[in-house]
Amino acid sequence: MTKTLEAETEKLIVLKELTSTTGSFSDRTGRRFEKIREEIGTKLKNKPKTRLPKNSKLVLKLGWDDEAISWARKINLAIEEFKQKYPEYGQELQELIDKHRSARRAYLEFGGEVLAGVYIDIIQEVLNENRKNAAKIYEAISYMGYALGKSKDSVQTSLLSE
């Protein structure tokens, strides 16, 4: 039993370290992703005719989602209960819900083939590492993506903030 507990504790330590390390890297890159996504979204909203060069292997498109934002059943039930309990505020709440439900949401579609050097540059910048170490990290991340069945060249969709 002691050996099992020891082995489980070792697994716990390693899993926490992996989660912490990959989480920190994910947080850093996530913040940069959000900043650049919003910058590009703003450019495309302000100048809708802005396009990538015709010979580019990349995809970038600003889209609009006119469909009502779907609500989970649990949330709908809670809202209905609130409206029954507090009818005077229920109407105001319903008006706010209707206003936001019909909001038009902008999103970016993007994807395409990116050279390894661009990945390495970003890893180098995010982690403040030298190029050699950034290349090793890229190789590991690239293999991890492959092992997890992640496709690099698929088109992604990301909602822009309102």
* Spatial distance between the Cα atoms of 99 and 120, rounded to a whole number of angstroms: 44
For the cut 70, the answer to whether the pLDDT of residue 1 exceeds it is: no
Output b/e per residue, 103-114; b: 16+ Cβ within 10 A: eeebbbebbeee
Cα–Cα nearest to 126, from 47, 5, 22, 42: 22
Q: What is the pLDDT of residues 41-96, one digit of tens each?
A: 999 989 888 889 989 989 999 987 755 444 455 677 778 878 888 888 888 888 88
pTM above 0.85, yes or no: no
Confidence of residue 137 (pLDDT cuts 50, 70, 90): very high
Look at residue 74 in the predicted model and tell me its pLDDT: 64
Phi and psi angles of residue 84, each rounded to the nearest 5 degrees, phi first: -70, -40
* Whole-angstrom distance, CA of residue 26 vs CA of residue 135: 17
Q: Has residue 152 got a pLDDT over 80? A: no
Q: What does the pLDDT look like over 100-122, one tens digit per residue? A: 666 667 888 899 888 999 999 99
The DSSP element (H or E) to which 63 belongs, if any, is: strand 58-65
